[in-house]
Amino acid sequence: MRIDDARPFPYEFDLEHTALVLIDMQRDFIEPDGFGASLGNDVSLLEAIVPAKRDRGHPTLRIGDVGPMGRVLVRGEPGSRIIDALAPV
């Protein structure tokens, strides 16, 4: 696969040997009532890509810090969980 409009230069890679890495997809960052809602994060493309990668047996890695950050990303609180649409199965 080739991405011609990638920056700083076009990028070519083998999709069959590429892992997907998701960073900070916790509810506090993504959901409308989370503190990060003002960032306008849009995960709609990921919601299509993650199942497609999973169906092909490709690895998907999830990285996120579960806190503590005051009232944000508190370990064990619902807001610290990966959003359902992108969670591991």
Residue 55 lies in a domain: yes
Residue 29 lies in a domain: yes
Q: How many domains does the chain have?
A: 1
Residue 10 lies in a domain: no
User: So what's the pLDDT on residue 4?
Assistant: 93
**What is the distance between the alpha carbons of residues 38 and 77, in angstroms, rounded to a whole number?**
21
> What is the chain's alpha carbon radius of gyration, rounded to the nearest angstrom?
15
Is the pTM higher than 0.85? no
Compute, in degrees rounded to 10, the torsion defined by CA atoms 11, 22, 61, 53. -70
**What is the distance between the alpha carbons of residues 68 and 51, in angstroms, rounded to a whole number?**
30
Residue 9 lies in a domain: no
User: So what's the pLDDT on residue 76?
Assistant: 81
User: So what's the pLDDT on residue 12?
Assistant: 92
Residue 3 lies in a domain: no
Owning domain of residue 59: 17-86
